Amino acid sequence: MIENQATQVRVSFAPTFMSKVFFFFGLAVAVSAAGAYVGLNYLTAYFITYPGTIYGLIIAELALILTAGWWSKARPLNYFLFCLFALITGLTLVPILAYLTMTSGGVDILIKTFVATALMFGACAVYGQTTSRNLQGLGGFLIMALLGMIIVGIIGIFVPWSNTFEMVYAGLGVIIFSGYIMYDIQRLKFYPEDMYIDAALQLYLDIFNLFLYILRLISALNRK
């Protein structure tokens, strides 16, 4: 009887799919923050001297995203690559953070962005988890909207746009990734049990991109 009780205790404390998803999601956020902190304080001069390093990190970041379907289930490699991706992502933020910390009012913009991102993510996550509406139909629309944003963003590299257009573009990005958060939070109910790394990675990408677009929006509003 004691053995049965011990077995029941072990089962009750076994991590659930949702707990694993949010553990790795939180881990990714923490690792990114650590990477950004270390990069900002110790590697800024290196990145300025060798700007190509940032492009190399971005290429590595994209490579990890594109190959995630292969490595996300290969334990323990998936744990290492997941944390490596989060670390690289944090390092890619260093040029933006360095610029803002050296700009008048930049620290205030960062604080506002962090707060707005946290509140927006929390609100969207609660809605996605509690709503009775089926949000899975949004998937196709969100993908097409994201592709449109990417195309316009590439064009913007060669054809500079006005600050007003930047506000519109950033605002649309905020809307799209808010939609992705609601969509992906609700989609957690349909994931297989062994895909918690994939789910955590998707949520991490959602909040990371939401942060970037909120940052662009607030920066554009402060320039107006």
46-59 per-position pLDDT tens digit: 999 999 999 999 99
What's at 4, amino acid-wise?
A: N
Sorted by sequence, the CB contacts under 8 Å of residue 114 that are 6+ apart come out as 211
- Separation CA 211–CA 188 (nearest Å): 21
Proportion of the chain above pLDDT 70, given as a percent: 93
136-195 per-position pLDDT tens digit: 888 899 999 999 999 999 898 888 889 999 999 999 999 999 999 999 999 998 999 889
Mean pLDDT score of the chain, rounded to an integer?
91
State the pLDDT at residue 137.
87
Domain count, the chain: 1
Q: Give me the residue label for tokens 């996550």.
A: 125
Burial class (CB in 10 A: 0-12, 13-18, 19+), 111: exposed
Domain that holds residue 129: 2-223
State the pLDDT at residue 2.
47
- Helices 77-92, 196-223: axis angle to 10 degrees equals 0
Instruction: Give Cα separations from 51 to 60, 87, 212 (angstroms).
Output: 15, 18, 20
* Bond into 76 cis (ω within 30): yes
CA 90 from chain centre, in angstroms, equals: 10
State the pLDDT at residue 6.
46
Sorted by sequence, the CB contacts under 8 Å of residue 14 that are 6+ apart come out as none
- Separation CA 152–CA 112 (nearest Å): 26
Q: What is the pTM of this model?
A: 0.90
Mean pLDDT across 63-80: 93
Backbone angles phi, psi at 124, to 5 degrees: -65, -40
Lowest mean pLDDT among 5-9, 182-186, 197-201: 5-9
Q: How many CA atoms lie less than 13 Å away from 25 in the CB half-sphere?
A: 24
Q: How many CA atoms lie less than 13 Å away from 160 in the CB half-sphere?
A: 2
- Separation CA 205–CA 72 (nearest Å): 15
State the pLDDT at residue 13.
55
